[in-house]
Structure 1
Amino acid sequence: MAGERWKDDIAYAMTPFKLIAWPIGVWPLQDYNFYSLLRSVLGTCGAGLMVLLPFIELCMGHTDAEENVDCIMFICCGTLGVLKMIWFRIYANSLTDNYNSALNDYLMIKNEEERAIMKKHAYIGRMISCPMLCFSYFSCIMYGLIPFFGDKRNAVLNVTNEDAILKYALPSGYTMEYINTPASMYKILCFIQVAAMILSTNANIGNDALFLNITLHICGQVKILRAHFIRFNITSPRVRDRFNALIQRHCYLTMLTRELADMISFVLLIELFIISILLCIMGFQFMLALKSNDTVMMTKSLMVQSAFLTQLTMYSFIGNYLKSEMEDIRFSIYQSNWYNFPPKLMKNLVFIFMQTESPVILQAGNFITINLSTYMSILKSSFSYLSVLRIMLET
């Protein structure tokens, strides 16, 4: 019975993320063989196509202002996808160590309270990741349909016109014309581009979901450790051994968190930079669309802004949560009967307090802390910039 429940807990916590990460070859518990490398190459190519086609279109210089913004947005999204695919393969050991540790944690559940804490954090991971991915998939499909339904002069009506520039899901009309793509393959190419966008979504948002899920699991383990410190029984035998076991557990969780923080640091730096720029660009595009009553452009701008704001919100929320859980270890010890500890054992508390003074946190480039304060600073700067642009438009 316990074994079946353990399997159900593992399936609940990890199956959705396996379905996302396995097709692109970054699932931490897979066999890293030739086939997983092939899937990773496929995911990287999907994200790379989102960079290559808009970049060529941008360099050809035939696009208008709206298409230029779309090209920049696709290039940024594809760049993030390629970067995360490469980074999550290079630092696969960090994710593998953490996910293997999570498997052991589910195997070693001691009571229903710990199980409830772990399941709660698994639930939060699902509730954060699933809407974010579903909205991104919906946006990809909408971008794929816009060439057909967004403009009455678009590709469907112009397929028989040899001089017409066909509209694709990705900005690539002039590129496809330059390489003499047959008009009969228009729908097939649109389908391929939508598939590339979905692969890029898995490479970008899917890798975020994979990382945020295991970070939440670490937060749950720290919460369980805090409960053990608070309820530490000084009257039971082998006090020193039991307390040292808690200290070792704290060191182990700190080591796992540091592996995650070191792995994601550079990615977060690039992601914060790109999101900050795109929020301003897409916000400006939305204001232009609002002024000209362009419903299609407004819809695209809102979808992109919502996706990037959701990414930024999730990282900020979980980074802030991880920081607070790591810092609260000292308060949990303070709530225990530490004043009754043996003198030799009490000396160990000093080292724990020193560790919690500088907890392991998520940082972008090892100098920008990812928390709610950073989130509010980015939003404040973006809205200030957009306010200036709005005044310029009205004058």
Structure 2
Amino acid sequence: MTRKSTISPVIMFMLPWFGVWPGRSIILINRLFWIVTLAFTGFCHYLYVSTHLSSENFFNLVDCLCSFLAQVKVLIKLVMFWINQQKLMEILAVIVNDWKDCANSDVSLRVMIRKAKLSDRITNTILILHVATIIAYSMGVVLEDADATDQTIELPYVNTLQLPFNVSTQRTYRLVLLTEIVHLIFLNTVAGFANAMLLTLILHVGGQMEILESRISQFIFKEIENKKESITGTIKIIQKHQKIIQFSENIEIIYTHIALCVFASNMAMICSIGFLIVIAIDTSNVMELVRCLLFLVITNLEAYIFCYAGEYLSNKSKAIGFAMYNCPWYNLKPKHSRILLFVILRSQKQLILTAGKMMELSLVSFASIMNASGSYLSVLLAMQ
């Protein structure tokens, strides 16, 4: 079957289950599921904090904060996709049309197939990594197999929380653990889905920019005898560039508030997880150390994905201006070549992704997050 989209079939299959697909009755049920389950786990986190608020439980309180922030990020990602569902549908429609346009050119088709294959690999890698992390993250509690009939101990759960009901039998305890692990796998899948979706959309934009650069480099005006055809060709290039700009702006609309949430929460989470790692090393708690390291890897990876996507988009947008300047525009008459100035001028304003319209996403931003997290970590260790 001929490929018709850059987006991985896995992501397309997952969209309705995350409440993002209009015209299906299951959407409302799925959205209700996510709202109820996330509200319940948030309430369990609140119960733990309210009943364990003391200096002796500082380690567990920080762990509770990390897991709570991770679930808040997932909720915000879902809500932003629900709010901007129409924009997402427009993006998917544009992707399908772009693939139809590529069918007329072997060069363009090869570029998009290469991007699609890369998208599939990235999506599968991210999702597998998120699921494997949760399984490994939960293994310590599963192997511990605490005795639920012993009322003198506090039962350990995968996340640091307190249930609003009493667990007094081993069967109930294991059922609760299994439910928690499955729910965490779903949550991490949502987080991985949002990150993979961003990279996929950015790769599609990059592919379209490479196609535009190819068209510009092959646009040799001296071989065009008809002036009308020359003007038509330049206008098509401008229209293609404008289409890419609109596509990038739609990505920005969907992800700008998600990126703001990721930046704010990840800064606190990296700092807090770093604190947990230092404490785990001091206490020689190997199992807790492994859990924290896995959590830290996933958190850093998410921040890096967002920043790399912004850097990639910015660099690709600059390349269009260079490609236009290097094409044989000098073979046109001045009144015709002036049309190309619009593309050169517009490409000087780089396409970017931002965090809440306040900060540009780039590798420099990623470095600033790590620096700020390290600074806050030193303060947190001093407060210990």
How much has 1:25 moved relative to structure 2? 2.3
Select which of 120, 135, 157 maps to 2:129: 135
Q: Take 2:76 and 2:68, find their aligned partners in 1: how far apart are those partners?
A: 12
The one of 117, 142, 157 aligned to 1:168 = 157
Deviation per CA, 1:239-278, whole angstroms, max 9, x where unpaired?
Answer: 1112101101111110111111122111111110111111
Give the equivalent residue in structure 1 for 2:87.
94
Once the two structures are TM-superposed, the CA of residue 225 in structure 1 deviates from its matched residue by 0.7
Match status 1:207 vs 2:194? yes
Deviation at 1:232, TM superposition (A): 0.8
Matches within 5 A, 1:372-383: 372-383=363-374
**1:195 paired to 2:195:** no
Q: Find runs of 4+ consecutive structure 1 residues off by over 6 angstroms.
A: none
Listed as ranges, the matches of 1:113-132 within 5 Å are 113-132=107-126
Give me the TM-score of the superposition, normalised by structure 2. 0.90
Which of 170, 173, 188 is matched with 1:186 structurally?
173
| 1:58-77 correspondence runs (5 A) | 58-61=49-52, 64-77=57-70
Residues 350-386 of structure 1 show CA distances to partners (whole Å, capped at 9, x for unaligned) of 2222211222310001121101111122223333554
Contact 1:118 1:217 in 2 (8 A): yes
What secondary structure sits across from 1:10 in the alignment?
coil
Matched to 1:165, the amino acid is E
What is the distance in 2 between the residues matched to 1:393 and 1:295? 24
1:56 aligned to 23, 26, 47, which one? 47
- 1:195 & 1:48 partners in 2: Cα distance? 16
Pairing partner for 1:222 from 187, 190, 209: 209
The residue aligned with 1:257 is 248
Q: Which amino acid aligns with 1:256?
A: F
Decide whether aligned partners of structure 1 residues 32 and 55 sit closer, same or farther in structure 2, where only a CA change above 3 A counts.
farther
The correspondence of residues 4-15 of structure 1 with structure 2, limited to 5 A, is 4=1, 7=2, 9-10=3-4, 13-15=7-9
Distance 1:273 1:322 in 2: 22
Counterpart Cα distance in 1 of 2:189 and 2:178: 17
Q: Give yes or no for contact 1:225–1:250 (8 Å, CA) kept in 2.
A: yes
TM-superposition CA deviations, 1:113-164 (whole Å, max 9, x none) = 22222122223323333222222212222333322324xxxxx342222343
- 2-structure distance, mates of 1:200, 1:241: 50
- Aligned residue identity for 2:299: F
Q: Which residue of 1 aligns with 2:72?
A: 79
Matched, 1:247 2:238: yes
Partner of 2:19: 25
Change in 2 beyond 3 A, CA 1:12/1:144: same
What is the distance in 2 between the residues matched to 1:50 and 1:208?
Answer: 23
Matched letter for residue 260 of structure 1: I
Which residue matches 1:299? 290
User: How many residues are paired up?
Assistant: 376
8 A contact 1:286–1:302 mirrored in 2: yes
When residues 243 and 213 of structure 1 are mapped into structure 2, their CA distance, relative to the original with a 3 A threshold, is: same
- For 1:274 and 1:216, the matched residues in 2 are separated by 26
Code of the aligned partner of 1:42: F
Which of 338, 352, 357 does residue 348 from structure 2 map onto?
357
The one-letter code matched in structure 2 to 1:326 is: S
- Checking the alignment, whether the CA contact within 8 Å between 1:21 and 1:210 is kept in structure 2 is no
Q: Aligned Cα RMSD in Å?
A: 2.3
* Match of residue 314, structure 1, among 305, 311, 315: 305
TM-score w.r.t. the length of structure 1 is 0.88
Separation in structure 1 between the aligned mates of residue 38 and residue 119 of structure 2, nearest angstrom: 24
Matched, 1:345 2:336: yes
Structure 1 spans left out of the alignment, 5+ residues? 151-155
Shift, 1:55, TM fit: 2.5
AA in 2 matched with 1:320: E
- Once the two structures are TM-superposed, the CA of residue 62 in structure 1 deviates from its matched residue by 6.0
The structure 2 residue matched to 1:332, chosen from 288, 303, 323, is 323
Change in 2 beyond 3 A, CA 1:352/1:12: closer
